[in-house]
Structure 1
Amino acid sequence: MPPPLPDELVEEVLLRFPPENPAGLVRAALVCRRWRRLVSDPGFRRRFRKFHRRPPMLGMLCNAYDYLKRFHFARFIPMTGSCSRRTDFEGLRVLDARHGRVLVRRGRGSVLAVWNSITNEVRELPFPQESNHWTAAVLCSAAASACDHLDCHHLPYLVVFVCSKYDRETFVYTYSSDAAAWTQQRYLVKSWMGSALVGNALYFGDLIRGTALKYNWELRRTSLIRLPSLSPDSLLTTTEDGGLGLVTRHVSKLYVWSRKDTHEVDNNAIWERRVIELNTVFPVNVIVKTLYLVGSADGIGTIFMRTGDEVYAIDLKTCKVKKVFEGRSTHSVVAYMSFCTPQHWEALVQVRDQVRVAQVHDKLKVHQ
């Protein structure tokens, strides 16, 4: 019998397991105790994240409304067969997901909650201000130069809440998990179309004025930038190279914009445009004029469009279309992107048995 491969070679093989299929590492850990020790080692997890660099999209969180029972709910849709099962969260609305955390609104009350999907911790936050127009985002509080955001779920985080009352003055509130308190700034923005993270700046689109509010949370500074073009169906996104992107739909055409960093003043930046004919990429039975944008996955060039009760994912690079969900009415989609490298054997069993989402569901329902 030939001698076993040294640990260094086995690890090199395990590092190349696709991160979008976390069950592969579970199966590898079941081979023998030596492989289980290698997979469970903290050093392997760090090297695994560094090797793949970009977290995979493990699933998507769909916000929907049940017209018969008259309640809002969020549904987790796994993007891989090895990920957790589909799970409904009654009374929850998912607002954002980034850096291992999910930001939700609970019920009809003025309560936000931040769920750390790695540690299973849930923290509730009060609304800083009631408003008829608002949006919010969650992110790691470390600057882009100080953190690669591959494994920062244990670090402090920020929640940025942007709101306006009756199209008047706009308020930007920032919640720091370290201080456990909100701070306030003022600006003038009217209507929202999602957020995008680029470096140390969060961008919130203003559909009415055709601008975006740029908020640098490291400097606590806000400014406005002009967007190249808008339609009633538009959303901001982060491009594959980490820049600011904009996607708009007009009738049967999808316009994909990317902002090029020329180190000039914000409003003098160059935008490049690409046009996708929806009729050429969607199945013939889909009426493309009824499609509209419902979400995007930052940094991987994927957007989501809905028609009726069907949700499609579109790869903007290859123009490949895949139906990812069919069911009750979905009005927005938040991509869930994270590495799933279990920290010890018990965590491997949790992933294998697919219980993570169900546990979080039960924990959040306690607060309802």
Structure 2
Amino acid sequence: MGSDAAMTQSYPPTSPASPAPPLEDENILAEILLRLPPHPTSLYRASRVCKRWRQLILDPEFLRGLRAFHRTPPVLGFFHNSPCPRRFVCAEGSPGRILHATAALRRDGEDGMWWFVECRHGRSLLRGRDWADLLVWDPMTAERRGISVPYRVRAGTFDLNAAVLCPKTVRGDCHYSPFDVVVVCTRQARAFACVYSSATGSCILEFQLGNQRLALVELPSETFSVYKRNIRVGRSEGGGLGLTAVKNFSMHLWVREVDHLGTEKWVLGREIDLYKLLALPLTQTRVGSMPVWISGIAEDGNAVFLRTMVGIFVVWPEIKKFKMLTNSVLIKTVYPYASFYVPEV
């Protein structure tokens, strides 16, 4: 009897193991960190919490997920070629990596400096004074690639311009992807283009990027009579070709649309009253005598940089938000730079 009782004696059931706290679970932690605001200082502060968080944030797989989740990189600020102490002006936070890298951006030669041409997909394109040399520079990774522009491209040209492009399959910044540099010039009322491919390391004297080709796009008839060259080409809010123009204190956003007959034409999409939007800063001086000029547009068209007599403002048209970035009146043309900020190790 006693032995039977011992055999049937019950014990309290073993409790299942408690789940790990959310911040101890690698997958959950990664999902939380992905949802931090794409602000320059967000990941930097998170990476300073502990070594484990820093290793996770610097993992290439996490960085790919970050870009895929947020898609559009934030505008960190702009570069410029004006005679100011700092050639980079921050729009959000204080990304020290860019400031330090820009201070050391020098070139061999008589002029001793590179001149910014444009910024796109997380890279910056710079040129020598005579366009004989180009430099593709990644402020985040410090990667540099020098390119020689063939003399037969430069000889006898009336005007030169260039752009750095990434594969169509890549959206946002593409720090570790191949890139192409397109150089466009005009000569005797004709336009020419050549392409440098980082994959092959050579120039191709034709414009053949997939199915892309040179095409003439007529501007709205109001371009010169109304806006007097105060107009910039960029990407519209819908992702297509767009124009941003300013007349007095009114910003006009034009979009390229196709009508029911299949004809492309320019349509005025939105109009923003800059006098009301920038009322507080602009009333500090004589408003009636203050011109507003477009200094630059972010590559995704989501930020417009305006030059006034009191300094430079950045305006986010979609949310009608603005911010004064600098009171310098020496800066005229700016080159907005957008990228996901990668913390320094």
- Pairing partner for 2:233 from 233, 236, 258: 236
Describe the shift of the 1:33–1:301 C-alpha distance in structure 2 as closer, same or farther (beyond 3 A). Answer: closer
Kindly state the Cα deviation for residue 65 of structure 1 after the two structures are TM-superposed. 3.9
- Pairing partner for 1:95 from 88, 99, 117: 117
Give 2:192's aligned amino acid. F
- Corresponding position: 1:38 with 2:60: no
- Pairing partner for 1:158 from 180, 185, 193: 180
Q: Which of the two has higher C-alpha Rg?
A: 2
- Pairing partner for 1:134 from 160, 164, 183: 160
Q: Which 4+ runs in 1 deviate beyond 4 A?
A: 85-90, 261-265
Alpha-carbon contact 1:260-1:272 (below 8 Å) kept: no
Task: Determine helix, strand or coil for the equivalent of 2:87.
Answer: strand
Give 1:95's aligned amino acid. V
- Pairing partner for 2:72 from 27, 33, 54: 54
Kindly state the Cα deviation for residue 109 of structure 1 after the two structures are TM-superposed. 5.8
- Corresponding position: 1:175 with 2:196: yes
Task: Determine helix, strand or coil for the equivalent of 2:196.
Answer: strand
Kindly state the Cα deviation for residue 264 of structure 1 after the two structures are TM-superposed. 6.9
Alpha-carbon contact 2:257-2:267 (below 8 Å) kept: yes
Post-superposition Cα deviations, 1:97-118, rounded to whole Å, max 9, x if no partner, equal 1122110013456321111334
User: Which residue number corresponds to residue 276 of structure 1?
Assistant: 272
- Corresponding position: 1:111 with 2:133: yes
Describe the shift of the 1:93–1:308 C-alpha distance in structure 2 as closer, same or farther (beyond 3 A). Answer: farther
Describe the shift of the 1:38–1:331 C-alpha distance in structure 2 as closer, same or farther (beyond 3 A). Answer: same
Q: Superposed, which structure 2 residues align to 1:224-303 within 5 Å?
A: 224-228=216-220, 229-231=222-224, 232-260=229-257, 268-269=264-265, 271-282=267-278, 283-285=282-284, 287=287, 289-303=290-304
Quick one: distance in 1 between partners of 2:209 and 2:310?
Answer: 37
Kindly state the Cα deviation for residue 334 of structure 1 after the two structures are TM-superposed. 1.0
Alpha-carbon contact 1:61-1:336 (below 8 Å) kept: yes
- Pairing partner for 1:4 from 21, 37, 43: 21
Number of positions where the alignment pairs a residue of Structure 1 with one of Structure 2: 302
Quick one: distance in 2 between partners of 1:110 and 1:264?
Answer: 46
- Corresponding position: 1:27 with 2:27: no
Quick one: distance in 2 between partners of 1:3 and 1:170?
Answer: 63
TM-score normalised to structure 2 length? 0.77
Q: Percent identity?
A: 31
Give 1:19's aligned amino acid. P
Farther off after superposition, 87-96 or 249-258? 87-96
TM-score normalised to structure 1 length? 0.73
Describe the shift of the 1:178–1:330 C-alpha distance in structure 2 as closer, same or farther (beyond 3 A). Answer: same
5+ long unaligned stretches in structure 1 = 67-72, 186-214, 343-347, 350-368
**Structure with the bigger percentage of strand:** 1
